[in-house]
Chains A and B, each alone.
Chain A
Amino acid sequence: MKTEKFDEEIKRKVENLIPKTEEKEVDKVLAYITANTVVTVAGVLYRRLIILGCGALLVTGIITWQLTRMHDREEMKQTIAQLNKNHAQKQNLPLSLPKTATVSQNARNEKSTGTVTQPSQKDQPTSLSTSMGIHGDKAMNKDAKSSHGTHARKHSVTQTIADLQNPAPKTIAENKTAQKDSRNARNGIGNQQETAITDKGPVDNQTENLTSDKNLTKDQSTTPDKNLANDQNKVDMGNNATKTEMGDEKKEVQVVSPELKENQTLALKKEAADTGNINGYRAPKTDKEPAKPLVISGQVGPGFLVGNKQIGYGLSATVLFNGVFGISTGIRNLQLANESYENNQVYLQKRGQTLANAYGMTGSQDNVISNITVKSDVLQVPLYLTYYKPLKNNWSVSFTFGTDLDVYAHQTVDFTEKGPSTGAMNQAAHIENNTQAVPFNNLLLSVGATKQVGHFMIQLAPYVCPEFVSSNYRVNDLYFGVNLSAMYILAKKNTPTN
């Protein structure tokens, strides 16, 4: 017989052999495919991960935003209360000598600004620097001689603050004497929007100057001014300078009155707090405010983890930056719950391969394997980034994002074997296997509560942890649970406290 014919006959026989298909075999193939499908960018697991991640980020973002708003409001209210308190205290003190004062007020529903500049006693006397000129000066000196005294001055300052906080139209008849000066001023400066008066007179004169200025404002308002009308209820925080015009010459005078500036700030903050428009408020910039230095502190302590089908314990360390952001790492032993399989067939269906293939067993293929229990221990290095949002009474909310770096995985498999190699007797068998650890296989998202007690920081943080890379020792696609840690603060605490 020629080899060609032999080969052809063999080929014909073999190619015509089509084994029957059984449902069980199809199930096995599908189980294997499901368990070992390569994850691609468009793959199901990545899609699931993206959805979970987006959802978690959205929820975290909304919570953070709301908490931030609440915190800012509280902080603002406290600041306002403090400022009110300070202001009340200042009112009770003997009058200090403010160098300048800026007053904004409404007069007949139109706004105009009058400025009184008052030199301190040390200041050199200066001449009147506005076109209000001598008339105004004379009036003021005259009024100064009438010596309204300290009472009038106090009344004026109080009135100014009241005007700032609750602007209301003023009556014209406050000071007739000043009215005259106002007219003079109007004639002198035309449609000036802002006027500065420099006065070398005594402190007592200031009240009158201020009053006079109000009247001046009133008179000025008789000339329509569109720009001012638009800004009727606003105080310009950023511009403390008022312009003084002398003939055709413009002169800018820096007006700095700490007391009134404080009042303006107070008024704005109050308005922002009342309306809830936090973004509308911008604190005035101060050159003296120093930049916050980077404060680094540390925490170290034990941590415990309890979740679905897993429990862990370890030691972790956190480096805190300005007490707000923390980078955590450490070492953790994670014990995954025992997986139980009735027999090798069930194991194959769930894990996609037989026990013999999974652990390289060399025993008889005919042996029946049952009562399989798999226990896994994983050594992990957590890598987390945490943001702490401070709350009251040393509480804070933590938002954590990170992954667990699996560095070592060990599995213990117990099962019962029965077959020719065991003399048809049930025989307990045991496998110890160091399985390959998949370094980055999960994503941890956590929102928790932190409380500082003395030198300790106690944190309780529920977490969700989707798995995005399959490994031999993790069965679930999603783990969740609670992290509990008690950290000792190594450096001075700058963190999340009020």
Chain B
Amino acid sequence: MIFKKKTSYKADDLDSIIEACLTQNPQAQRALVKMFFGFVKGIAMRYAANEAEAEEIINDGFLKAFNNLAKFDHEKPFKGWLRTIVVNTAIDYYRKNQKYAHQADIDDIDLPDMSEDVISKISADEILSFIQKLPPSYRTVFTLYVVEGYNHREIADKLGIKEGTSKSNLQDARKKLQLMIKNAYPHLHLAYAVKINKFNEN
């Protein structure tokens, strides 16, 4: 059909917004972007080193979503579908700007003994900033494994690396993150160490 009538939509009805987006309704597109921008940005930030990189992932992610909106299965949750698209976009971005060269050799760094209490006392923004400071290969593997829940084989397939490399990168990412937290919040770590020592003395 050459001519498509522009469909109206209800601002609080996701299905009607999606239907309207399929007819290239700009208001509906705006509504959809506005509805999921925070969600998409949250995902993109985990894979990006900075705001600019995150912006590219967000843009490409939404673009892919709109281009493939006709393929969306309405029986499944839209959020999960969009999340998959954004994660895949982030992986594509990583592969496009692939930098396998390790920026720091941290094999000799001991994994600090860190309590979950320490992590809980640090804000999410700060945790995210630590993740963003990781080298791209570490950051991507860590996020895919820890946050998205992929296993090493899947990660290896997606990134085009060996499974062993994925495991190694994940371990190195953990070490580096804990080191960064220790350096950024020495008092928390110290308090935790004192607590542990007292527990051992008892």
Binding site for B on A (CB under 8 A): 1, 3, 5-11, 13-21, 25-26, 28-30, 32-33, 36-38, 42-44, 47, 50, 352-354, 357, 365
With a CB–CB cut-off of 8 A, which chain B residues contact A353? 59
* Minimum C-beta distance from B184 to chain A (A): 14
**Are A14 and B4 neighbours in the complex by a CB distance under 8 Å?**
no
With a CB–CB cut-off of 8 A, which chain B residues contact A13? 119-120, 122, 124, 127-128
With a CB–CB cut-off of 8 A, which chain A residues contact B33? 26, 29-30, 33
Q: A32-B59, A33-B62 are in contact. Are A11 and B147 (CB under 8 A)?
A: yes
* Dominant secondary structure of chain A at its interface with chain B: helix
With a CB–CB cut-off of 8 A, which chain A residues contact B119? 6, 9-10, 13
For A26, give its contact among B24, B30, B52, B125 (CB under 8 Å). B30
B26 at the interface (CB under 8 A from A): yes
**Are A1 and B114 neighbours in the complex by a CB distance under 8 Å?**
yes
Q: A3-B174, A32-B59 are in contact. Are A26 and B37 (CB under 8 A)?
A: yes
A10 to B37, CA, bound (A): 22
B202 at the interface (CB under 8 A from A): no
* Minimum C-beta distance from A353 to chain B (A): 8
> Contact size class for B?
35 or more
**Are A29 and B59 neighbours in the complex by a CB distance under 8 Å?**
yes
Q: Name the residue of chain B whose CB is nearest to the CB of A7.
A: B146
* Minimum C-beta distance from A482 to chain B (A): 31
**Are A1 and B38 neighbours in the complex by a CB distance under 8 Å?**
no
* Minimum C-beta distance from B63 to chain A (A): 5
* Minimum C-beta distance from A494 to chain B (A): 41
In residues 112-159 of chain B, which contact A (Cβ within 8 Å)?
A: 113-116, 119-120, 122, 124-125, 127-128, 131, 145-147
Q: A1-B113, A10-B119, A365-B52 are in contact. Are A20 and B146 (CB under 8 A)?
A: no
A42 to B46, CA, bound (A): 36
Q: A9-B116, A10-B127 given; name 14 further pairs at CB < 8 Å.
A: A1-B114, A6-B114, A6-B119, A6-B178, A11-B147, A17-B45, A21-B34, A21-B37, A29-B37, A30-B29, A38-B67, A50-B2, A352-B59, A365-B50
**Are B116 and A1 neighbours in the complex by a CB distance under 8 Å?**
yes
With a CB–CB cut-off of 8 A, which chain A residues contact B114? 1, 6
**Are B124 and A17 neighbours in the complex by a CB distance under 8 Å?**
yes
**Are A5 and B3 neighbours in the complex by a CB distance under 8 Å?**
no
* Minimum C-beta distance from A29 to chain B (A): 5
**Are B128 and A33 neighbours in the complex by a CB distance under 8 Å?**
no
B94 at the interface (CB under 8 A from A): no
Q: Name the residue of chain B whose CB is nearest to the CB of A32.
A: B59
Binding site for A on B (CB under 8 A): 1-4, 24, 26, 29-30, 33-34, 37-39, 41-42, 45-46, 50, 52, 55-56, 58-59, 62-63, 66-67, 113-116, 119-120, 122, 124-125, 127-128, 131, 145-147, 174, 177-178
**Are B39 and A18 neighbours in the complex by a CB distance under 8 Å?**
yes
Give the interface centre of B3, B4, B116 by most chain A CB atoms within 10 Å. Answer: B116
**Are B38 and A19 neighbours in the complex by a CB distance under 8 Å?**
yes
**Are A25 and B37 neighbours in the complex by a CB distance under 8 Å?**
yes
A365 to B62, CA, bound (A): 23
With a CB–CB cut-off of 8 A, which chain A residues contact B52? 354, 365
* Minimum C-beta distance from A265 to chain B (A): 49
With a CB–CB cut-off of 8 A, which chain B residues contact A3? 174
A15 to B124, CA, bound (A): 9
With a CB–CB cut-off of 8 A, which chain A residues contact B62? 29, 32-33
A43 to B70, CA, bound (A): 13
A5 to B120, CA, bound (A): 11
With a CB–CB cut-off of 8 A, which chain A residues contact B34? 21, 26
With a CB–CB cut-off of 8 A, which chain A residues contact B55? 28
**Are B63 and A14 neighbours in the complex by a CB distance under 8 Å?**
no
Q: Name the residue of chain B whose CB is nearest to the CB of A41.
A: B2
* Minimum C-beta distance from A477 to chain B (A): 15
* Minimum C-beta distance from B23 to chain A (A): 10
**Are A14 and B131 neighbours in the complex by a CB distance under 8 Å?**
yes
A127 to B172, CA, bound (A): 124
* Minimum C-beta distance from A54 to chain B (A): 10
**Are B38 and A18 neighbours in the complex by a CB distance under 8 Å?**
yes
A365 to B54, CA, bound (A): 14
**Are A14 and B147 neighbours in the complex by a CB distance under 8 Å?**
yes
**Are B147 and A15 neighbours in the complex by a CB distance under 8 Å?**
yes
**Are A19 and B42 neighbours in the complex by a CB distance under 8 Å?**
yes
**Are B116 and A19 neighbours in the complex by a CB distance under 8 Å?**
no
**Are B56 and A357 neighbours in the complex by a CB distance under 8 Å?**
yes
A354 to B55, CA, bound (A): 10
With a CB–CB cut-off of 8 A, which chain A residues contact B37? 21, 25-26, 29
For B124, give its contact among A6, A16, A36 (CB under 8 Å). A16
A-B interface, 7 closest residue pairs, ranked by CB to CB distance from nearest: A17-B124, A9-B119, A32-B59, A21-B37, A13-B124, A7-B146, A9-B116
* Minimum C-beta distance from A335 to chain B (A): 31
Q: Name the residue of chain A whose CB is nearest to the CB of B145.
A: A7
A20 to B39, CA, bound (A): 9
For B66, give its contact among A15, A37, A357 (CB under 8 Å). A37
A426 to B83, CA, bound (A): 42
**Are A32 and B63 neighbours in the complex by a CB distance under 8 Å?**
yes
* Minimum C-beta distance from B57 to chain A (A): 11
Give the interface centre of B33, B46, B50 by most chain A CB atoms within 10 Å. Answer: B33
Q: Name the residue of chain A whose CB is nearest to the CB of B53.
A: A365
* Minimum C-beta distance from B31 to chain A (A): 10
With a CB–CB cut-off of 8 A, which chain A residues contact B66? 33, 37
A354 to B50, CA, bound (A): 15
Q: Name the residue of chain A whose CB is nearest to the CB of B192.
A: A1
18 A-B pairs with C-beta separation under 8 A = A1-B114, A6-B116, A6-B119, A10-B177, A14-B131, A14-B147, A15-B42, A16-B124, A17-B45, A28-B55, A29-B33, A29-B58, A32-B63, A33-B29, A33-B62, A36-B63, A47-B2, A353-B59
